[in-house]
Amino acid sequence: MKAWLPISLVKNNEQIEQLNDSLFLFCLDNGYALLNRYKPMNAIPKRPPVFRLIQPLNNGLPLDSDLREKEKQPAALLISTRSTSFLVRFAHPVYTQVPSFRYRIPGWQEEWSSWSTNAVKLLAGLPPGDHTLLLQSSLSHEVSALNLSIKPQWYQTWWAGVLYLFIALALAGLLYRMHRQRLKLQRRKLLIEKEKQLHEHLLKARTEQLQADVLNKSQELANSTFNLIRKNETLLQIKEALAKVKTDLGDRLPDKYHARLIRLIDSHLTSEHDWQVFETNFNQVHEVFLHKLKKDFPELTPGDLRLAAYLKMNLSSKEIAPLLNISVRGVENKRYRLRQKLQLEGDDNLTAFLMQYN
């Protein structure tokens, strides 16, 4: 009785060795096969498929060289992501039929693959973490499983995240320092420009005073006025800085001390002594200006006369603001009310009117 064996011998080197009366060894092109001619074909146990070899493609060396000899499959293999591309070889120890295989990896490949007689699977691109390779043969309903634990690359670890954070903080610090340096240079440039403008203004005022052939007291008046401006500007800056310190410190700077400092600054900003000194020097230069202005326009208040004196000196609203301890907008409002009291027309220039008024 003839029987057909589904095996493939080595081409041009077909060899069959008889080991005993009933046992024959076939040399196949992909392994070996044993045939016991006295054992019924259907009596061969159909075990589940097994994994034979896991072989990385980067160095060609198997991760576990004894895997093919182990009858009991390992519960898990630890695979580094440096070997994310590797081959998995598997088989089904049944030699009377050609098995087909299908596989899937839950979480990465949910659906079963198509049935194939190919006993080699190329795995590539698995992300770090734990994975399970499920294998099933067409000759058995049982499913074999191989647990794979893939380590992350160094740049995917927590300490690499700390390194990234450190680099980001270092870059942020560098950018912050560069930004502060740029602001410092800009402030220095603005300060030089402001000092230059102030210097030019003083030279212009001094030239105008010389051209008008006024008394030497006019220069002292101008100097004392601008010193008063600078003093009041400094006090306002200190007041703003104190407010910021109070905001930053909160209850650590008691309200009573904060209020006491604010009152002290305000008292110097609105000091009548400063105005009396200014008025004395002003009257020495412009002897009858305030007296005549009050006589011609009796509805003018002391505040209006003070503003008129500052405008007589050709001070800008920005320069007058710290002298009156008000904002530039407040100075503009006072200028508007003074125009109305002086009964000026819309086209008349208030400063020019006061400078020519004698």
Segments making up each domain of the chain, as ranges: 40-156, 157-213, 215-356
pLDDT value at residue 75: 45
Q: Running DSSP on this structure, what letter comes out for residue 313?
A: T
pLDDT value at residue 222: 64
Q: Which of 191, 228, 223, 227 is nearest to 205 (CA)?
A: 223
Q: Which of 105, 26, 99, 89 is nearest to 56 (CA)?
A: 89
SS3 category, 295:
helix
* Residue type for position 202: L
Q: 119 CB contacts (<8 Å, ≥6 apart)?
A: 52, 89, 90, 91, 101
The angle, 0 to 180 degrees and rounded to 10, between the axes of the packed helices 302-312 and 317-324 is 140
Burial 256-288 (b: 16+ CB within 10 A, else e): eeeeebeeebeebbeeeebbeebeebbbebbee
Structure-token pair, residue 155: 């740049």
pLDDT value at residue 46: 61
Contact present, 63 and 89 (Cβ < 8 Å): no
pLDDT value at residue 70: 47
CA distance 257 to 67: 82
SS3 category, 77:
strand
Q: 104 CB contacts (<8 Å, ≥6 apart)?
A: 110, 111, 112, 113, 134
The domain at 40-156 falls in which architecture?
Sandwich (2.60)
Contact present, 146 and 133 (Cβ < 8 Å): yes
Nearest 5°: CA angle at 12, between 6 and 14?
Answer: 50
- Note down pLDDT in tens along the chain; length 358 residues: 445 566 677 777 777 777 777 777 777 777 777 777 654 444 445 678 888 777 766 654 455 444 444 445 544 455 555 566 678 888 887 766 788 899 998 988 889 989 988 888 888 877 877 888 898 888 888 888 888 777 777 777 788 888 888 999 999 989 999 999 999 999 999 989 988 888 888 888 777 776 665 556 666 666 666 677 777 777 777 877 777 876 777 777 677 766 777 777 766 666 566 667 677 777 777 767 888 888 888 888 888 888 888 888 888 888 888 777 788 898 889 888 988 888 888 788 888 888 888 7
pLDDT value at residue 34: 76
SS3 category, 118:
coil
pLDDT value at residue 4: 57
